[in-house]
Amino acid sequence: MTYHRITSIEDSYFASLHKLLQTIFPPEEVLAYELWREPLEDPTIHVYAAIHEGEVVGSTEYRYYPELRVAMTDFTIIGKPSLGIGRFLLRNRERDLAKLAGQSGTTPIGMFAEVYDPFRAEEHAFGGVSPMNPFVRREVLSHIGYKRIDLAYVHPSWDLEGHAVSELDLCFLPQDEEMSSIEADLVAEFLVGYYAALPNKPEEWIRMIEQVRAAGTLELLPL
């Protein structure tokens, strides 16, 4: 299996990757094909595909914020079961993030991720790919060590319509497993920067950011 970075929509594997994204995620979570051009050319955004026998069978997107000392896993998708794709993506991502942190001379605090609450996302079939079932995904993140940030979370939809998506939880994977809370200012600063690319922000998201900024710390809860 090959860990292949995609930096252009002209990449021969990008069309297959985008189709896989549309299979796995609901429409409001998938950026339109042409709108991927600029993000893929951004050197701080890392999009990798797992290539098996010439086919895109999985992918992960992530970024590292040296000024905040945190990473973000945008997504991890698996197109076929029983190939070890999840572990392959995890280990390669870990190595790459360690390299990025080293190059910036920083020590990471941890990594953010969004994960579906299966009780709120049951209507999504997730393409019928069993590893992408929201119950499975949530348990996998729990096994890795992610914790749920105690926050009524919403985010702006990636279809650029400005809808509030409220079926996910914001989670954090702390470097220190004993860490039980996270600075609210860090969460707010991360979210404002992360969603700066979306022009339309729902009122629910704006209110959530205000509430986060007003808090001192946010508890990290079991996922």
Question: Tens digit of pLDDT for each residue in 169-222?
Answer: 999 999 999 999 999 999 999 999 999 988 889 999 999 999 999 999 999 999
Higher pLDDT, 110 or 133: 110
pTM of the model: 0.92
DSSP 163: P
CB 111 within 8 A of CB 98: no
Span 184-195, pLDDT tens digits: 999 999 999 999
CATH architecture of 2-221: 3-Layer(aba) Sandwich (3.40)
Domain ranges (residues) in the chain: 2-221
> Mean pLDDT over residues 124-148, rounded?
83
Q: How many CB atoms lie within 10 A of CB 20?
A: 21
Sorting pLDDT into bands at 50, 70 and 90, what band is 124?
low
CB 107 within 8 A of CB 79: no
Residue 159 has pLDDT above 90, yes or no: no
Residue 122 has pLDDT above 70, yes or no: no
Check residue 121 and give its pLDDT. 64
Residue 127 has pLDDT above 60, yes or no: no
> Mean pLDDT over residues 10-16, rounded?
97
Helices and strands, number each (H, E), in the chain: 6, 11
Mean pLDDT of the chain: 93
